[in-house]
Amino acid sequence: MSQIKQDKAESVRTRFAPSPTGRLHIGNARTAVMNWLFTCRMGGRLILRIEDTDEERSGRESETAILKDLQWLGIQWDEGPDLGGPYGPYRQSERTEIYRIHADLLRKEEKAYPCYCTARELEDRRKERIQRGDSAVYDGRCRHLTREERRGLEEEGRLPVLRFRAEAGSVEFDDLIKDHVSFPGDQLGDFVILRANGMPMYNFSCAVDDHLMHISHVIRGDDHVSNTPRQVLLFQAFGWDVPVYAHIPMILGSDRVRLSKRHGAVSVAQFREQGYLPEALVNFLSLLSWSSQTGEEILTLRQLIDEFDFKRVSSSAAVFDTEKLDWMNGVYIRRMEADRLANLVEPFLKESGYSVSGEKLRVLASVLQPKMERLSQISERARPFFADRVKPEDDEAAFWLQTEPARRALKALDDLLETVSEPEWSGTAFLSLMKKVQETTGIRGKDLWMPVRVALTGQLHGPELPVLVEFLGLAKVRRFIRGSLA
């Protein structure tokens, strides 16, 4: 294998290798985040590799969407299909000749052999072995076929796959999270490395690419633990150094079942569309199975990078706590500068049919900022600012419009509104009128303010009234107050 073996890379090189078969799943995003944090911590290079050998399910549209999601999260890679690099191509579909050359080398050294068994034959023999209490792995039927026997099978029209010859004995490797891992060799069997159409199987393309791209650390979900022994065998067969592995525990829903669509949003795109911030999501994902030694949970990117250490990654599954994510996202929203918040909430307002821009948008965003945990919530919170008519939202709210003090206070305010012109109208002018209502009627406190709030919003709780009335304008305020007296 000397003509293909390459020198071991001196620096840390990690890779995130999604399959473009759909949107970026939140579990895969967590894997990308951990690769990124570790690589930045070590001053290494992160490689983006697209594993698109599943011809039926893979597509460039999904690839583009995945890259968009990664960029939205702020994750930066150093080599990839969009950036290029010294070890490309970075799409596996463009590396088939590389896999063929390496497969031929294994075959020439009799470390791999063609297998002509049909899917039906394999399944029938697997059931027979299970009934006998034997291992369900491939029985090696084609291991020792003669040249004549192979020729005869090919004349039948059978197209062979290529199987790796897995020798007996345990396969062992060290893991940064799971410590030492050992797999019995008899549970692996002779596994397929090339399909009949020449496309590589996952374990084969993954091992070849990890070597040729000088990957020093393979950081991925622990659903890949069962793949690792096969990849280790391939590294050993080629005489290559085995990378360092770190298998991250899976993410569970609140019911402690693996996170899936039935738990709600599962793709990065869905979280973005619901109004979560990328920095909050990265912070949250980093804390699934990992914790800061400070005990803090709101951490800047610099803190995450400086503190990230696999020694603090738990081997136990992480529970995706949506309430905690909402709380964390709310903290980031409340800390955000007003101009950025205004830009981010504007699309949500437009989607709800609310047209506002400039200083009014900035004011609106600032007023509602303390009330939001997700950007999408602004549409509901902003409803009183854009209402064309108001009615009490429930019986309790309606009650505050029916009392005798309420009617007197609202009538007094209605009369005073006639004395104000539009150019004079402001939140300060409104407060001045409310003071006069108090002085002339003797009504004060909740008996004064609650009827006005319900008359203007239909709600018992909501935005600060001086800000609201200035936003609404004098004409609307007059109409709403008069309408409450009808």
* Token pair belonging to 173: 């490797």
C-alpha count within 13 angstroms, C-beta hemisphere, residue 94: 11
* Token pair belonging to 315: 């081997």
From residue 264, alpha-carbon distances to 276, 283, 288, 321 in Å are 14, 20, 18, 12
* Token pair belonging to 126: 């697997």
DSSP 85: -
Sequence-separated (6 or more) residues with CB below 8 Å from residue 399: none
Residue 46's CB: how many other CB atoms inside 10 A? Answer: 23
Return the exposure string of 254-282: e unless at least 16 CB atoms fall within 10 Å of the residue's CB, then b.
eeeeebeeebebbbbbebbebbbbbbbbb
- 194 in Cβ contact with 201 (< 8 Å): yes
Active site residue 435: no
Please give the Cα distance from 205 to 96 (Å, whole number): 9
**122 three-class SS:** helix
Active-site position among 108, 127, 261, 411? 261
Sign of CA dihedral 395, 401, 406, 407: negative
Please give the Cα distance from 87 to 67 (Å, whole number): 19
Q: How far is CA 378 from the centre of its chain?
A: 22
Largest CA distance in the chain: 111
Tokens 């039926």: give the residue.
56
DSSP 219: E
Mind telling me the catalytic residues? 261
